[in-house]
Each structure stands twice: as C-alpha cells, then as structure tokens.
C-alpha cells in the first residue's frame, strides 16, 4: 500500500536502484522454507547519479540473507503508528527511501523473500533522521565541494497579535524574514506552564511582506506569550522575534464576564534601564516603572532574556527590579518584562532593552557544545573507497549516562591528500588535515545509548588510510 509522501518507484529507478518484479510461482514441490534474516541493517550513503534529485530521505544497506532455493528480493519496511509497512522492494542489498520529512526520525527493518513467497524473519531495526540525499557514482570523480550554508535567516520583526474567530485559537502576524538561499519555514513558541515550547501553527504567506499564523487548541480566554524563529533548509535558525502577548479566543463570546472573573490585564511595564552603583561582576541590575492592576493587588513581574534562538526565564519578581548574574562580562544582553496579575492575566511585554553585563563574569548563559570531561562516546568510521574517491558513514554513539546537548566531532586525516568534498547531517569543515563536524539544531542532542549517523563524500590521491583517533567536544572517543 502506498505511503503518503514517499516518491514513486520511477524516481528510485531513475537513481539506478532496481525494484524486484513480482516473483513467479515455484515449480515442482512446494517450497515452504523461508529465507534467513538479512544481515545487519545500517544507514549508508548509497551511490546515485550526480544531480539525480533524490530529495530528502534515508539510504539503507544490509547483509544478504540465505535460502534453501534462493532469495529473490527484500522488502524495506517503515514503522507507522507502531506497525511496519513495506515501502520498497529491491533485489539488491541496499535501497533509498525518499520523499520523507527533513529531520524527522523513521524506523526501518528489512525482510527477505524467496520465489515461493516465503518471508523470513526481519532484520534488526534502524532509526534514522531523514536528510538530503546525495550520492555519486563510484565510477565518477568526486563532485566539487558544495559550499556550506551557515548564514541564518533574518529575525522575524514586528510580531503582533490579530483576532481569529475560532474558539481556543490565537492569531499572530509578523514581517517576512529573508535568507541568502531561502527561508524554509517558521517555528512558533508559546509560554505554557512556566516554559517556552514549540507549538503547532498554521503559517501562511500574505501579499506584501506579511506572514500570518494561527495557533489552535489553546485554553479559551487564557493569555499566552509567543515568539517566532525563522529557519532555512540547511538547519540555520534566526534570532528570535520580540515577545508578543495574545489571548486565546473565546467563541462565541460570553455576554459578560462571570461575576468575580478578572479578565483585565495589568498595565504594560515601561522605562527599563540599568541601575549603576552596585558591583555585580558578570551581571546587570535592571529596574522599570511599576504598573497597577484593576484588582488593586500589585502584579508580579516575569523577566525574560533573549538567547541565540529563544528566551531564558530569569524569574518572578514582586518589585519592578531584578539582578541578573552569571553573564559574560562586557557582553550585551536583551531583556523584556511582563506583568502578571493574580488571575493569570498578562500585560503586553515591555519594549526590548539591551544592557551590557559588568566586567568580571566568566560564564556564558548560552552553553557552547562543550561537555564535562567525562563525556563517553564511541565512533565508527566506515569508508567505501574507489579510485580517487570515497564515501564514509560515521556513527557517533553516546556511551555515557548523560545526554550530550550540542556536539562537535573532530579527527585528522593521516595524509594531506585526503579531503572532504561534501557531507550530510552536520556542518563539515576542513583545515589542513584536521576535520570537524558540528551539529545542526535538529540533531544537537544525543541521548545516553543513542547513535547518530552522519557522513561525507571525499577525494584522495595515492592511499586512503583511516583516521587513528576521534574526539567529541574535545574528549577522546573509543573507535570500532
């Protein structure tokens, strides 16, 4: 049965992959012996004609199965809603599954069949994130290096609410972002139960430079804070928009508020500024004008600090001031504050204010990919080599007990004639013989016991020896 979003067989045939024909019935005595399970299933960069336009997907390889008569084909199956469904059939021991969603995880297995239609036991299961498919014919020279897109889109500007007559929905609008290649989409984040999280949103482009988004399934009548991040196809993320407040629609509207129900938000905080005269190494002392609420009870204040791609919560304050420490001295930081009354109504956020942390701080609130010195990892380096070129699958496994939040793989080629030409699932760079691969936002976390698969195409002259050692965030990894 066809799977929505997967490319038709003609695309795979065009990439040089054979699809098995329907097997003819067995002749003579009935064959009731199924094939064995296929050999180890793993992610691999299968060769394909340059420029074949395979799009986004996963390429898989496995060991051959055995049978008392003969294996005639393999069913490549993907797990959907907990059930495995065949999406590809091939006579070889490799297949590309294309037409997938970039960055989404998919779980695969393979089953061998013989001419009598007997199906053997399944292979091991492999879970892999879909990525751009790029292969090259082993008989062809390596392609020219593909420039790495490291330029993020511009930040969404002018985030503002608009009314949507749908119960539990909130509307947002902002100015279209730009990118050196193209903006591939926007992620909308909402402040819910004390934390920001990405929420599903229906995003549409309007005439001119405006973008509209509708967020559904919110609590009618409840106030929410939102921000938006733009992204491109290479995984680069923009800086976040300013914060904006919007109330989820109550539809149809009530004739009047229930007696005793407070639906009026506090006033908007203004006048945020740095306060001098206090030594706070690596910190800032902020103050703003207090606001009132119709309840007569002074509201609380929630302070937020802008980060590279989002917002950090600096805590609740009963007075219109706050001291923020643990910053990097001499570095600018942007803040917004929101007033909140006892009923949970939120004010509009204050205007953004940028303050420079006092000298003396050494820590940074935006963690780099560095990890504790006891980071445990294992790296598998599996090259496929032909005359003058090679394709390598690299597997990083977290063998420790803590998640790795942000990673940078490093190794050195033994020879100066070896070089990376293009890669996938990481930002690949090379300086001399030193090579590094750094995470994208969508694959930055490696949980304990989890393996991450990436790879590259390369070129060499003479010999193509394997690197002797690998590091992850500067810490040595074991190799297999």
For 10, phi then psi, to 5°, come to -60, -30
> Which strands, in side-by-side order, build the sheet including 244-247?
195-199, 183-192, 223-232, 244-247
What pLDDT score was predicted for residue 43?
Answer: 81
What pLDDT score was predicted for residue 28?
Answer: 54
449: Cα within 13 Å, side-chain hemisphere: 0
27 pLDDT band (50/70/90 cuts)? Answer: very low
β-bridge mates for residue 189, sequence order:
198, 227
Closest Cα partner for 379 from 368, 366, 395? 395
Give CA–CA dist 47/300, Å, rounded.
60
Token output for 358: 């006092």
Q: Is 315 exposed, middle or buried (0-12, 13-18, 19+ CB in 10 A)?
A: exposed
**Sign of the CA dihedral with 180 first, then 431, 53, and 394 last:** negative
Q: pTM (2 decimals)? A: 0.50
More confident residue, 5 or 285: 285
β-bridge mates for residue 83, sequence order:
80
The total of other beta-carbon atoms located within 10 Å of residue 376's CB is 18
Q: What is the pLDDT of residues 163-213, one digit of tens each?
A: 999 999 999 999 999 999 899 999 999 999 888 999 999 999 887 899 999
Q: What is the pLDDT of residues 67-102, one digit of tens each?
A: 998 999 999 999 887 888 888 888 888 888 888 887
Q: What average pLDDT does the segment 49-77 reach?
A: 81
Of 135-139, 179-183, 276-280, highest mean pLDDT: 179-183
What pLDDT score was predicted for residue 138?
Answer: 38
Q: What is the pLDDT of residues 365-396, one digit of tens each?
A: 334 343 444 468 999 998 888 778 888 889 99
Q: What average pLDDT does the segment 458-464 reach?
A: 90
Who contacts 2 (Cβ-Cβ below 8 Å, separation ≥6)? none
What pLDDT score was predicted for residue 268?
Answer: 96
């Amino acid at each position: 049965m066809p799977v929505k979003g997967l490319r038709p067989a003609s695309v795979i045939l065009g990439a040089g992959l054979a699809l098995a024909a329907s097997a003819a019935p067995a002749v003579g005595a009935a064959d009731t012996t199924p094939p064995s399970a296929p050999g180890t299933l793993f992610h691999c960069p299968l060769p394909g004609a340059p420029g074949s336009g395979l799009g986004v997907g996963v390429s898989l390889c496995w060991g051959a199965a055995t049978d008392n008569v003969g294996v005639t084909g393999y069913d490549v199956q993907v797990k959907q809603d907990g059930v495995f469904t065949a999406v590809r059939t091939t006579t070889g021991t490799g297949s590309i599954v294309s037409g997938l969603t970039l960055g989404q995880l998919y779980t695969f297995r393979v089953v061998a069949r013989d001419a009598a239609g007997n199906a053997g036991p399944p292979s091991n299961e492999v879970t892999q994130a879909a990525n751009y498919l790029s292969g090259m014919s082993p008989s062809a020279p390596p392609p020219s290096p593909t420039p790495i897109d490291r330029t993020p889109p511009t930040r969404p500007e002018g985030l503002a609410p608009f009314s949507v007559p749908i119960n539990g929905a909130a509307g947002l609008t902002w100015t279209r972002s730009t990118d050196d290649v193209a903006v591939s989409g926007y992620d909308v984040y909402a402040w819910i139960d004390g934390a920001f999280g990405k929420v599903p949103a229906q995003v549409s482009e309007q005439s001119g430079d405006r973008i509209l988004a509708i967020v559904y399934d919110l609590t009618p009548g409840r106030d929410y804070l939102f921000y938006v991040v733009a992204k491109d196809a290479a995984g680069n993320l923009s800086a976040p928009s300013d914060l904006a407040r919007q109330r989820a629609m109550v539809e149809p509207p009530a004739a009047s508020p229930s007696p005793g129900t407070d639906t009026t938000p506090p006033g908007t905080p203004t006048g945020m500024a740095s306060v001098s005269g206090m030594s706070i190494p690596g910190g800032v002392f902020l103050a703003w004008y207090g606001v009132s609420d119709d309840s007569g009870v002074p509201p609380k204040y929630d302070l937020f600090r802008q980060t590279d791609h989002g917002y950090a919560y600096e805590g609740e304050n009963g007075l219109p001031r706050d001291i923020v420490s643990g910053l990097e001295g001499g570095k600018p930081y942007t803040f917004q504050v929101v007033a909140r009354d006892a009923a949970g109504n939120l004010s509009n956020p204050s205007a953004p204010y940028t303050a420079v942390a006092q000298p003396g701080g050494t820590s940074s609130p935006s963690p780099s990919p560095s990890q504790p010195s006891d980071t445990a990892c294992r790296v598998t380096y599996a090259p496929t080599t032909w005359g003058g070129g090679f394709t390598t699958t690299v597997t990083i496994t977290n063998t420790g007990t803590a998640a790795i939040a942000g990673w940078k793989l490093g190794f050195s080629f033994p020879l100066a004639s070896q070089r990376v030409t293009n890669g996938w699932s990481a930002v690949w760079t090379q300086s001399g013989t030193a090579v590094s691969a750094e995470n994208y936002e969508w694959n930055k976390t490696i949980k304990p016991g989890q393996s991450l698969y990436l790879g590259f195409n390369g070129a060499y002259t003479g010999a193509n020896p394997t690197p002797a050692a690998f590091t992850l965030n500067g810490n040595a990894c074991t190799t297999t």
